[in-house]
Chain A
């Protein structure tokens, strides 16, 4: 089982600042199979990035994903008030119907 470790646990920033979130995998993940989600309190998660770097439909271009192998990054170029939330990375199987999808433990982006 691939374990995803996100850092930092909490990121305290001000609106307008740049946020850089890290996701490290315990073994290599195909870049095609790494996603990022945003979750606000009381809401379901929302897909932001899939395939490590492709933005999902309707996601603003201030969100970008990068990385390969075991190290992946979500960058929010300029934080808007609505961006303060918890962010999760996820890896999914690299072969058809690989039986595991796993999430990182999350990074909370809070207002400084």
Chain B
């Protein structure tokens, strides 16, 4: 079974520029998550999709972050304009449908963003 694919792996941008990250979840996984992991901290949920609908985006800074999951498969996370504090690893994860599915998240390797 192929894992969760993410790209790019690394990105360096100037503050106020924009950046986009892409995620392809495990085939058949209905739920897709974007997490932000700042160095030395645990992951923090930014947004959760069930198929192509948003389930939870309460911690997404909506003035600068946006995400979409077209056709219930791939997803993109965009930051515009970026701030210094957005420097972090952006992790995509997916899980099977159902209550117990939420206990078995599979993470991608992450996209490391550095904002200068």
Chain B associates with chain A: no
